[in-house]
A and B are shown apart, each in its own frame.
Chain A
Amino acid sequence: MKKNNLFIYIKEKIQGQNILLALLLLIVLVSIGALIVPGFSSSISIRSMLLLAAFLGLASLGQTLCALLGGIDLSIPYIIGSANILLASLLNMGLLPILAIIIILVCGIIVGLINGLLSYRLQGQSIVVTLGVGFIVVGISQIFTSSGVYGGNVLTQVPQWIRNMSSFGGSTFGFPLPPVVFVWLFISIIMVTIMSRTLFGRSFYAVGGNKRASSRILISEFKIWNLAYAMSGFMSAMTGMILLGFSGGGYVGVGDPYLFTTIAAVVIGGTSLLGGQGGYGSTVVGALVLTVLTSLLVGLGLSYAMQQSVFGLLIIPMVALYARSPHIRDQI
């Protein structure tokens, strides 16, 4: 009897702490990798894992906010690709890099706002709405940059500081890690603090948890919803530009892998797509899990195709652990 109580106590403690599961998974994966894949824990391999996790983590920030509200943003890969080629072609036009970056960030926010405004009234259909917006964005930016495009590629001379920002050999004040990793760390700390400590951050959970209750305590769902999507557009634009430093040339398809991996990172971390549960801290762990798992699978000699399959097989049990909806007879 006593043992049973203890079990229930632990279960209650763990409930809602989905990040623990993801952390456990991360630790297991790292240990397995370190044990069976030679060179897994070398500094080069850790550096590349952190770099790739930083891209995924930055791209998934907006997806996390949208998921907290019960929405989804599928325009992320298209905004990433567009920002990537737009920055390259604006640099080609001879614009000051800083000016070009600001223009693209503003464009990202505008696209995010369009996403938010359109999907606010059609919340059940945010998947298709954001997908459509993504089509438009990538189409328009292709047409805009068409003069220098060869099969979606825009050739350009990327400034040294953008290159250093996110290339593999980049360093931060002499420390051998590209600055983007620290930027990610910095943004994560701020984000987690805001989401858990401020009224503004908590209102995302309120809206995601119960819309009617949150409107009763004067939280504007409209404002929060649009902010989440605007933030998503902003972060996607930023990721797209950072990826230009990584690849050294603009390519519109650079965001394509992020179509489903951002959702996978959010879900594996422990944010339920139903809304109201999880947070950016979980997504950070989710992004790390995905990246470590990728390196592990590569180390084991699995092809890219089989990695996708393993990701897919991982998602359902992870979600089943914490985001099951109640049985229909309990919903009435």
Chain B
Amino acid sequence: MNYLSLKLNKFYSYNPRFEREKHLLVPIVLIILLFTVIAFRAPQLFSNNGIGGAIIIIAPLILAALALTPIALVGRGGVDLSVGPLIGFINVSLVSWLVGNGYTSPFLVVSYVLGAGILYQVIVAAIIIYVRVSPIIVTLSGYLVLTGVNLTIMNRPSGFSPEWMFNWGYGGEILSPIFFILSFMIIIWFLFSRTVFYQQILLTGADERMAFASGINTVATRFGAHIMAGIFAGMAAFTYTALISSGDPTQGNTYTLAAITAMVLGGTSPAGGIGGGLGSILGSINMYMISYVLATFNFGNVSGFVTQASTGVYLQFHYLLIVL
């Protein structure tokens, strides 16, 4: 460790609260920077329409990143690679099994998305805990299985979302239904992060052996973390369905890499124990704004790759800051 970081560490360690929220430093600096740039280059984002549209697009990403967070926090290098296909699975099965057969009551739809998310994550957690295979392999396997299943349920984008959801995807105003759902889920996250159970997730992730030796029920903790992940993945799929108003078997997969990037940009370490939900939320907003800023420059037909490359650069920059 070099002199600068020693000095910084000394500064932080005066206050234990700083020590715990240290991972938020980079995302906060980045978000201020991006807000400034956008204020100059694309002020239209801050209009009623702009913010409304941004919320609709960003909601699935935030919820997916929040779904990854408890699994990363609980440790063992748990990056949930299957979150994208899971969102896709809930989306296509909702559209073709429920809506396709005329079951469209809001209560049924919401309980289905939550139930499917939780059920899947419980299965994954059970395999991780009882078969004792590393999480990355289990979620990789889940990625492949669900990708195949999605394409079998629906071989190309088709179908409709429930009728009452049709006009949710326009985003002409800030206080849209998606806004309230997103706010509700974020409030749930913050209530969740105040619980003892959340502390146990952090402890298990930071040092599983020590947590076990201190009498924490690591098995229940891991199951709990995955159940939280399932709830958020289910709601991510719900908002995603509202966004595209139909079923799409392949586009959901893109959320895997996007959500992992957002989570890491938010300072949550896949190694476990460090990070939190606020970081993932900021990371997702940063991701969106990066692509928004880049869209204001004219890169022609390579703009998608400029966005991808710059996301990569931010990731590495972030890591360099941690390492130095």
Contacts and interface: CB of A to CB of B under 8 A. Distances in A.
Interface string A295-332: 00000000111111111110110011001111111011
A192 interface: no
Nearest to A134: B312
A274 interface: yes
Interface in B191-224: 208-209, 212-213, 218
Interface of B: 77, 79, 127, 131-134, 136-138, 140-152, 155, 208-209, 212-213, 218, 257, 260-261, 264, 269-272, 300-302, 305-313, 315-316, 319-320, 322-323
B131 A315 contact: no
Contacts of B305: 138-139, 142-143
Contacts of A328: 208-209, 212, 218
Contacts of B260: 128, 131
Nearest to A317: B131
7 contacts: A72-B136, A128-B270, A136-B316, A137-B312, A143-B309, A305-B147, A323-B134
B308 A138 contact: yes
A134 B141 CA distance: 22
A314 to B, nearest CB: 8
B57 to A, nearest CB: 20
Contact of B127 (A135, A142, A311, A316): A316
B295 to A, nearest CB: 15
A134 B143 CA distance: 20
Contacts of B315: 128-129, 131-132, 135
B309 A124 contact: no
Contacts of A267: 137
Interface of A: 72, 118, 121-122, 124-125, 127-129, 131-140, 142-143, 146, 149, 260, 263-264, 267, 273-274, 303-313, 315-316, 319-320, 323-329, 331-332
A304 B136 CA distance: 23
B319 A129 contact: yes
Contacts of B213: 332
B137 A128 contact: no
Contact of B148 (A146, A273, A312): A312
Interface of B is mostly: helix
A303 B151 contact: yes
Contacts of A313: 141, 145
5 closest A-B pairs by beta carbon, nearest first, are: A139-B309, A312-B144, A135-B312, A309-B148, A305-B151
Contacts of B133: 316, 319-320, 323-325
Given A72-B136, A125-B271, A316-B133, A329 B212 contact: yes
Contacts of A137: 312
A138 B79 contact: no
A328 B211 CA distance: 10
Contact of B144 (A133, A134, A308, A326): A308
A146 B310 contact: no
B270 A305 contact: no
A208 to B, nearest CB: 14
A313 B138 CA distance: 10
B21 to A, nearest CB: 20
Given A312-B142, A315-B140, A319-B134, 8 more contacts: A118-B319, A118-B320, A122-B323, A128-B270, A128-B315, A143-B306, A305-B152, A325-B133
Given A135-B315, A149-B301, A325-B132, A260 B209 contact: no
A306 B144 CA distance: 9
Given A131-B260, A305-B147, A121 B270 contact: no
A305 B209 contact: no
A142 B308 CA distance: 10
